[in-house]
Amino acid sequence: MGPKEPIARILSLNKSYRRGSQQIRVLEEISFEIAEGEFLALMGPSGSGKTTLLNLIAGIDRADSGAILVGGVDITSLSENELAGWRALNVGFIFQFYNLIPVLTAIENVELPLLLTGLSKKERMEHARAVLDLVGLSERIAHYPGQLSGGQQQRVAIARAVVTDPVILVADEPTGDLDRVSAQEVLSLMENLNRQLGKTIIMVTHDPRAAAKAHAVRTLEKGVLT
């Protein structure tokens, strides 16, 4: 499945942080589009602003100026509560360190985002089982994160990210904490999600092998897209 119409438009995005009296510019006049069904890799050296850009697109950080349109909605104009609701419906997150809730089992972690939908308990469990099956963990649904390997935890995190059928998946160094075999499994899984289910994926990575799975690679240098 090839790239289609733009699902996200980033227009003149600027972001800076204040450290003491110093203003540090992290992103400068970033503009680009992401097509629906695209698998985009964002690369660049540490401190180049990759994660900040990802966070802005995912609506978990605020830009100083510019606009981010996802599915036609300018998320920079949404209030905190509206943004939270928007994230619940439109974005799936995959983190480097999995970020599962340790007191919940695999299936409970996957069920978590579904609590914000109107689904019944039975429907939530059906959805959660289905995606855990999709990531090959149907035998591990009652395990706690501490009882799973890193690769398995990341697969649970991927299941949690896709269970609400979001518009885009954002992944921040999804293989950064995994051994080569587990990393390969996770990347294959993401590739399948993109190819078979048409999920738009934006992935921040340092790993050239991970970037090789993407349709397109954009590089950030000192906050500027090259």
Partner 1 sequence: MFAFKIILKNAFRHKTRTLLTIGSVVIALVAFGLLRTVVSAWYAGVAASSATRLVTRNSISLTFPLPLSYKDKIRQVKGVTDVSWGSWFGGIYINEKNFFANFAVEPRSYLKLYPEYIISPEQKSAFLSDRRGAVVGIKLAQRFGWKVGDLVTLKGTNYPVDLDFVIRAIYRGRDKSTDESQFFFHWDYLNESIKKAAPDRADEAGFFMESISGPLLAPSISSQIDAMFKNSLAETLTETEKSFQLSFISMTEALLMVIQLVSFVIIAIIMAVAANTMAMTVRERIGEYAILKTLGFGGPRIAGIILGESMVIVTAGCVLGIVLTYPAAHAFRAQLGAFFPVFNVSRRLFLFYAAASALVGLVAAVFPAWKAIKTPIAEGLRRLG
Binder to partner 1 among 1, 24, 103, 142 (CB under 8 A)? 103
User: In this structure, are residues 106 and 156 in contact, taking their beta carbons and an 8 Å threshold?
Assistant: yes
**Minimum Å distance from CB 4 to partner 1?**
26
Tell me how far apart the alpha carbons of residues 223 and 226 are, in angstroms, rounded to a whole number: 9
Number of Cβ atoms within 10 Å of the Cβ of 186: 23
Tell me which of 48, 55, 154, 194 binds partner 1, using CB under 8 A.
55
The C-alpha atoms of residue 132 and residue 218 are separated, in whole angstroms, by 31
Query: Which CB sits closer to partner 1, 88 or 224?
Result: 88
Does 99 bind partner 1 (CB under 8 A)? Our answer is yes
Q: What is the distance between the alpha carbons of residues 101 and 108, in angstroms, rounded to a whole number?
A: 9
Residues contacting residue 41 through CB under 8 Å, at least 6 positions apart? 203, 204, 205, 210, 211, 213, 214, 216, 217, 218
Per CB under 8 A, which of residues 61..90 are in contact with partner 1? Answer: 61, 80-81, 84-89
Question: Which residue in the set 45, 47, 77, 115 belongs to the binding site for partner 1 (CB under 8 A)?
Answer: 115
What character string, x for contact with partner 1 (CB under 8 A) and - otherwise, covers 168-197? Answer: ------------------------------
Which residue number, 67 or 88, has a Cβ lying nearer to partner 1?
88
Region for residue 124 given its phi and psi (left: phi exceeds 0; alpha: psi -120 to 50; beta: otherwise): alpha
Non-local CB neighbours of 105 within 8 Å, separated by 6+ positions: 141, 142, 143, 144
> Does 46 contact partner 1 by CB under 8 A?
no
Nearer to partner 1 by Cβ, of 96 and 154: the residue is: 96
Is 116 a binding residue for partner 1 by CB under 8 A? The answer is yes
Residue 97 vs 197, nearer CB to partner 1: 97
Can you tell me which of 8, 13, 48, 111 binds partner 1, judged by CB under 8 A?
111
Give the whole-angstrom CA distance, residue 222 versus residue 5: 29
User: Residue 15 or residue 140: which is nearer to partner 1 going by CB?
Assistant: 15
User: What are the tokens at 22?
Assistant: 């110093």
Within 10 angstroms of residue 157's Cβ, the number of other Cβ atoms is 27
User: Which CB, 52 or 182, lies closer to partner 1?
Assistant: 52
Please report, as ranges, the residues that interact with partner 1 according to CB under 8 A.
52, 55, 58, 60-61, 80-81, 84-89, 93, 95-97, 99, 101, 103-104, 108, 111-113, 115-116, 121, 160
